[in-house]
Amino acid sequence: MSNSKESNYDTQWPLWEVFTQPRDGKPHEHAGSLHAPDAEKALENARDVYARRKEAVNIWVVQTEDITASTPEDQGPFFDPANDKPYRYPKFYNPPRAVKKRS
Protein backbone atom coordinates (compact mmCIF):
# COMPACT_ATOMS: atom_id res chain seq x y z
CA MET A 1 0.00 0.00 0.00
CA SER A 2 1.27 3.45 -0.84
CA ASN A 3 0.26 4.92 2.50
CA SER A 4 2.68 7.22 4.26
CA LYS A 5 2.20 5.00 7.28
CA GLU A 6 3.54 1.47 7.20
CA SER A 7 0.13 0.02 7.94
CA ASN A 8 -3.29 0.92 9.22
CA TYR A 9 -2.78 -1.10 12.36
CA ASP A 10 -3.55 1.84 14.57
CA THR A 11 -5.61 1.77 17.71
CA GLN A 12 -9.24 0.71 17.62
CA TRP A 13 -9.43 1.02 21.43
CA PRO A 14 -9.99 -1.82 23.92
CA LEU A 15 -12.89 -4.24 23.60
CA TRP A 16 -15.84 -4.07 26.02
CA GLU A 17 -18.76 -6.42 26.60
CA VAL A 18 -22.20 -4.85 26.89
CA PHE A 19 -25.03 -6.10 29.11
CA THR A 20 -28.45 -4.53 28.80
CA GLN A 21 -31.46 -4.66 31.10
CA PRO A 22 -34.52 -4.61 28.87
CA ARG A 23 -37.03 -3.55 31.53
CA ASP A 24 -37.19 -2.82 35.25
CA GLY A 25 -37.07 -6.03 37.22
CA LYS A 26 -35.47 -8.05 34.42
CA PRO A 27 -31.92 -9.35 34.61
CA HIS A 28 -29.14 -7.88 32.49
CA GLU A 29 -28.37 -9.85 29.37
CA HIS A 30 -25.33 -9.92 27.10
CA ALA A 31 -26.02 -7.73 24.06
CA GLY A 32 -22.69 -7.80 22.25
CA SER A 33 -19.42 -5.95 22.37
CA LEU A 34 -17.83 -2.74 21.20
CA HIS A 35 -14.62 -0.73 21.27
CA ALA A 36 -14.11 2.35 23.44
CA PRO A 37 -11.18 4.20 25.01
CA ASP A 38 -12.69 4.28 28.51
CA ALA A 39 -15.71 3.21 30.56
CA GLU A 40 -17.58 6.46 30.09
CA LYS A 41 -17.29 6.32 26.30
CA ALA A 42 -18.08 2.62 26.38
CA LEU A 43 -21.41 3.39 28.06
CA GLU A 44 -22.26 6.08 25.51
CA ASN A 45 -21.29 3.86 22.61
CA ALA A 46 -23.31 1.00 24.12
CA ARG A 47 -26.36 3.23 24.22
CA ASP A 48 -25.90 4.27 20.58
CA VAL A 49 -25.12 0.77 19.31
CA TYR A 50 -27.36 -1.49 21.42
CA ALA A 51 -30.22 0.73 22.60
CA ARG A 52 -31.34 2.93 19.70
CA ARG A 53 -34.92 1.74 20.17
CA LYS A 54 -35.40 1.64 23.94
CA GLU A 55 -33.95 -1.86 24.19
CA ALA A 56 -32.52 -1.00 27.59
CA VAL A 57 -33.32 0.85 30.80
CA ASN A 58 -29.86 0.14 32.20
CA ILE A 59 -26.50 -0.84 30.75
CA TRP A 60 -23.39 -2.49 32.17
CA VAL A 61 -20.08 -2.42 30.35
CA VAL A 62 -17.03 -4.42 31.32
CA GLN A 63 -13.71 -4.75 29.57
CA THR A 64 -13.57 -8.08 27.78
CA GLU A 65 -10.18 -8.98 29.20
CA ASP A 66 -11.58 -8.71 32.72
CA ILE A 67 -14.06 -11.52 32.13
CA THR A 68 -13.14 -15.02 33.21
CA ALA A 69 -15.24 -17.70 31.56
CA SER A 70 -15.46 -21.45 31.86
CA THR A 71 -14.45 -23.30 28.72
CA PRO A 72 -16.49 -25.71 26.64
CA GLU A 73 -14.03 -28.50 27.53
CA ASP A 74 -14.94 -27.89 31.17
CA GLN A 75 -18.54 -28.63 30.46
CA GLY A 76 -18.38 -32.17 31.81
CA PRO A 77 -16.04 -32.10 34.82
CA PHE A 78 -16.64 -28.51 35.91
CA PHE A 79 -20.38 -28.93 36.33
CA ASP A 80 -20.12 -32.54 37.50
CA PRO A 81 -20.94 -31.91 41.16
CA ALA A 82 -24.53 -31.12 40.18
CA ASN A 83 -24.99 -34.41 38.36
CA ASP A 84 -25.58 -36.80 41.23
CA LYS A 85 -27.73 -34.73 43.52
CA PRO A 86 -31.32 -35.46 42.53
CA TYR A 87 -32.37 -34.62 46.10
CA ARG A 88 -31.97 -30.96 45.17
CA TYR A 89 -35.16 -31.19 43.12
CA PRO A 90 -38.68 -31.35 44.51
CA LYS A 91 -39.38 -34.32 42.22
CA PHE A 92 -37.08 -36.42 44.40
CA TYR A 93 -39.64 -36.42 47.22
CA ASN A 94 -42.82 -38.31 47.74
CA PRO A 95 -44.88 -36.63 50.44
CA PRO A 96 -48.42 -37.75 51.30
CA ARG A 97 -50.92 -36.69 48.67
CA ALA A 98 -52.96 -34.30 50.79
CA VAL A 99 -49.89 -32.30 51.66
CA LYS A 100 -48.69 -32.30 48.08
CA LYS A 101 -51.96 -30.79 46.84
CA ARG A 102 -51.87 -27.88 49.23
CA SER A 103 -51.78 -24.70 47.31
Partner 1 sequence: MDEQEKQQEFQEKIDSGITIEPKDWMPERYRSQLIRMMSQHAHSEVVGMLPEGNWITRAPSLRRKMILLSKVQDEAGHGLYLYSATETLGTTREKVIDDLLEGKAKYSSIFNYPTLTWADVMVIGWLVDGAAIINQTMLARSSYGPYSRAMVRICKEESFHKKQGYEMVATMAQGTPEQQEMVQDAVNRWWWPTMMMFGPHDDDSPNSAELIKWGVKSKTNDELRQSFVDRHVEEAKAVGIEIPDPELEFNEETGHYDFGEIDWDEFWNVVKGNGPMNRERMKAKREAHENGEWVREAAEEYARKQKLSKEKAS
| Residues that bind partner 1 in the complex, under the rule CB under 8 A | 1, 7-13, 15, 32-35, 37-38, 41, 48-49, 52-53, 69, 71-72
> Could you tell me the smallest distance in angstroms from the CB atom of residue 103 to partner 1?
38
CB closer to partner 1 out of 34 and 59:
34
CB closer to partner 1 out of 32 and 95:
32
Q: What is the spatial distance between Cα 30 and Cα 64, in angstroms, rounded to a whole number? A: 12
Q: What is the spatial distance between Cα 86 and Cα 75, in angstroms, rounded to a whole number? A: 19
Q: HSE of 47 in the Cβ direction (CA atoms, 13 Å)?
A: 7
Give, rounded to a whole angstrom, the gap between the first and last alpha carbons of the chain.
Answer: 74
> Could you tell me the smallest distance in angstroms from the CB atom of residue 25 to partner 1?
22
CB closer to partner 1 out of 52 and 101:
52
- 3-class SS at 78? helix
